[in-house]
Amino acid sequence: MHAFALLAAVSLSAALAIAAASGNVAEQAKRSIDQVEASAEGKKLAAEPLKNAKSALERATDARATGDKQHAQLLDALALEWADSAGDLTRTAALEQKAADVEAKAAELEAKSVRALAIIEEAIARRGRAELELSEQEAATKSPAAAAQETKPAVGAQGKQPATETQEKKP
């Protein structure tokens, strides 16, 4: 618990030092609040941090009115922290939305690639079937030629065709 309190004090003092170096802390908190409230989504999303930032600014104003400048400065720094947290929250939500959009696009592209792969595999299968059918048709066209050669007289043992009736009548 002490570590958390120490961390919060260091964070608050660092924010106070940064804000003091760059101008009025309360004005920076108001600008941060205005930036977040500029968008309806940011206003809705960061309603709680914005409420806390505005409350801290009001308390800082009240502390100044009573002459408590030290607590007023701390409350201004607290308001700035809450306002910055609200800004961080809206930026985070915007980045998460972009990430979701990218993820959806990636899923869409993956689905397209799966479909393309299926189309390619189907084309390869069709080609294989067409090649098989072509080879079967080529074999079928060669078969009638082979059958025609079988009907011709066979060649004799000496490589000569046996004499037929027409060849025997020739002197």
Residue 164 confidence class, pLDDT cut points 50, 70, 90? low
Please check whether residue 84 lies inside any domain of the structure: yes
Contact 34, 57 (CB under 8 A): no
Q: Give the list of residues 6+ apart from residue 47 with CB closer than 8 angstroms, or none.
A: none
Please check whether residue 35 lies inside any domain of the structure: yes
Residue 64's Cβ-count burial label (10 Å; 0-12, 13-18, 19+) is middle
Q: Which structural domain, as residue segments, surrounds residue 86? A: 20-100
> Is 0.85 topped by the overall pTM?
no
Please check whether residue 170 lies inside any domain of the structure: no
Please check whether residue 2 lies inside any domain of the structure: no
Phi, psi of 152 (to 5 degrees): -75, 155
Number of compact structural domains in the chain: 1
- Please give the structure tokens belonging to residue 35: 């930036």
- Digit-coded pLDDT (tens) for 80-138: 999 999 999 999 999 999 999 999 999 999 999 999 999 999 999 999 999 999 999 99
Share of the chain above pLDDT 90, in %: 63
